[in-house]
Amino acid sequence: MSDAVILVPLDGSELALAALPVAKVLGEIGQTPLHILHVGDPEPAVEGLRSRLGRKAPMPDGVVIETRAGVPATEILRAAEEIKSRLIVICKQSAGDRGEMLGHTAMKVLHDASCPVVLVPPERGSTPWRLHHVLVPHDGTPTTSAALQPAAELAERAHAELLVVHITGVGAGSAEPGSLPAPRYVDQPQHEWPAWTNEFVKRLASVCQLGHVHVRIQLAHGDPAAEILRISERQATDLMVLAWRGRWEIPHAAPLKDILREAHCPIMMVRA
């Protein structure tokens, strides 16, 4: 991420400011400058916006603040292409979207962005954020491995723990070529778990550089979304990294939608 730009869209509301602490830390971890974009009509003066943001939290060096008028999602996506952003950090909802899983703008940005998107729950407010625990759900398929590389890179740069959670359930398994099925005897993991773990770590190392990352692998059984949310709360997860295939219509992405609706930590969405 060292040669990238992190785009942080704001809409002028207090809710949107929840994205700032997360973006600041991600920028510090990757030595990546922030590009703050305010989309509204009328456009506020840049210096007035800079002063307001500075009262909320000191702005890091090198931050760019831009204002635009127009349709928020359209301008955010246009700016992301123009500045070649490698990451967008945005609040999940705006003032008019409370109660929704994702607001209209965040949904459009997630669906059409060409880079990963970090969705920040508005209830976290503007309190400082840290990155000590990164969680990646994995179902054993090559497709979900798309989340492993960015998660491992962030964990290494932040000296954070990387927890990979493999969830099994009734009828679990995938026909995707190259998938690694979970051990058959999940109620007696001592029989196959060590061999499975060794094979998984080998595959993990083949898709990303582990370096000095502290990796922990956990096996769980049951409803994927419920188990991931339970483990996330128990482990005090700071960031969850999810791979998705870009399909949102019913019945696709049902566990992912449940996680987005209920998770209390920021979630990085990586298009597989």
Please report whether residue 74 resides in a domain. Answer: yes
**Are residues 33 and 119 both part of a single domain?**
yes
184-230 pLDDT per residue, tens: 544 555 556 677 677 777 766 666 666 678 888 888 888 889 999 99
Q: What range defines the domain where residue 81 resides?
A: 6-124
- Please say if the pLDDT value at position 234 is more than 90: yes
The pTM of this model reads 0.86
- Which of 100, 124, 148 is at the close of a domain? 124
C-alpha closest to that of 211 among 260, 162, 265, 145: 162
94-125 pLDDT per residue, tens: 766 666 788 899 999 999 999 999 999 999 98
DSSP string, 157-225: HHT-EEEEEEEE-TT----STT--PPPS-TTSTTTTHHHHHHHHHHHHHHHS--TT-EEEEEEEES-HH
- Which of 124, 152, 178 is at the close of a domain? 124
**Are residues 210 and 258 both part of a single domain?**
yes
d(CA 256, CA 137): 10
Please report whether residue 1 resides in a domain. Answer: no
**Are residues 150 and 73 both part of a single domain?**
no
d(CA 6, CA 19): 11
